[in-house]
Amino acid sequence: MAELAVKLPGMELKNPLIPASGTFGYGMDHLDFFDVNECGSFSMKGTTLEPREGNALPRIAECAGGMLNAVGLQNPGAREVIESVFPELRKIYRGKIFANVSGFSVEEYAECARLLAAEDIVGAIELNISCPNVHGGGMSFGTDPKTAAEVLRAVKKTSDKPVYVKCTPQCPDLPAMCEALEEAGADGLVLLNTFLGMRLDYRTGKPVLANVTGGVSGPGIFPLALQRIYQISPRVSIPIIGCGGVCSGRDVIEMMSAGASAVEIGTSNLIDPMSVPRIKNELEAALEELGIDDINEIIGRAFK
């Protein structure tokens, strides 16, 4: 059986499978289905400094090849997560997690990151400058390299823990953004968050989502995410965590072949709560079929 362990700055994962933020709650939503310690790690629900109720309903819509969401970062706030959520999580999870941090100002990002990074269960910060479903925050920080670098530098000052930046495909020059983030001190990149989209009710002609637009995710965006990982991987020297439409073990192999060192699994968790153990089994079977003894052998093999 192939070795699945991978190393990332600040994190040693038993396998490269990381449930994506917003699809796995705070790690306890899937306890009725499988032991969450089977995950390499997971990225917790996007968290802001203060509590947020999120966007108005409806905020979920189906589409061919996936779904749209406009949840709007509903969360109890960083202090409540630290005081109430993490003590319960420590009872069932033995690993380190990615703390997904979002905000509406540079100062808010920095303070939220400072609070969460101080917790022993947090192995790294996932800096979310890419959420398309909030106004005045999230993605608005992720489309301009100078602004993104400013947020990153402020967050880096709050802790010694690694910071991975989750990027938006809405950025007009994503390769330049990723290069700027590496120069500003990013320890890794998460490529990508959701694509901006919308649906209209054919009967009324009005937007289905109360927020009008939402983030498109699911298997339909996999080729788009894969292309961007392939495009950016040769241009940066920091690790990439691939994200976008991963639904199978073969998808994992494709993303890692394009240059990803680990892979986040998102919408698939919402469709099939057993996605992580299923994909892990598929991954092991595919590597055995290919005669690969160590999964690290396939990272970036598209360029070898």
Q: How confident is the model at residue 137 (pLDDT cuts 50, 70, 90)?
A: low
Sign (positive or negative) of CA dihedral 269, 273, 276, 280: negative
The number of domains in the chain is: 1
The conformational region for residue 136 under phi > 0 = left, psi -120 to 50 = alpha, else beta, is: left
Kindly calculate the radius of gyration of the chain based on its CA atoms and give it in whole angstroms: 18
What's 192's domain CATH number?
Answer: 3.20.20.70
Query: Between β-strands 97-101 and 122-128, what pairing exists: parallel, antiparallel or unpaired?
Result: parallel
Contact 185, 178 (CB under 8 A): no
Q: Which range, of 58-67, 113-122, 142-151, 206-215, averages the lowest pLDDT? A: 142-151
Asked whether the predicted pLDDT for residue 139 surpasses 70, the reply is no
Asked whether the predicted pLDDT for residue 258 surpasses 90, the reply is yes
Query: Between β-strands 214-217 and 66-69, what pairing exists: parallel, antiparallel or unpaired?
Result: antiparallel
- What global pTM score does this model have? 0.96
Alpha carbons 95 and 108: distance in angstroms, whole number:
27
Q: Strand, coil or helix: what is 142?
A: coil
Distances in Å between the Cα of 112 and the Cα atoms of 8, 59, 158, 295 are: 23, 25, 9, 34
Asked whether the predicted pLDDT for residue 276 surpasses 70, the reply is yes
What's 82's DSSP letter?
Answer: I
Beta carbons within 10 angstroms of residue 212's beta carbon: 12
Q: Which range, of 56-70, 140-154, 162-176, 280-294, averages the lowest pLDDT? A: 140-154
Does residue 61 lie in a domain region? yes
Alpha carbons 134 and 126: distance in angstroms, whole number:
17
131 is annotated as an active-site residue: yes
Query: Between β-strands 195-197 and 163-166, what pairing exists: parallel, antiparallel or unpaired?
Result: unpaired
Query: Between β-strands 66-69 and 60-63, what pairing exists: parallel, antiparallel or unpaired?
Result: antiparallel
Mean predicted confidence (pLDDT) in 226-253? 98
Q: Which of 39, 63, 112, 131 is catalytic?
A: 131
Percent of the chain with pLDDT over 90: 94
Model pLDDT for residues 107-131, shown as the tens digit of each residue: 999 999 999 999 999 999 999 997 6
Alpha carbons 144 and 165: distance in angstroms, whole number:
13
Does residue 195 lie in a domain region? yes
* Pair of tokens at residue 209: 């989502």
Does residue 98 lie in a domain region? yes
Mean pLDDT over the full length of the chain: 96
Q: Which of 72, 20, 16, 8 is nearest to 45 (CA)?
A: 20
**Domain span at residue 289?**
6-303
Does residue 1 lie in a domain region? no
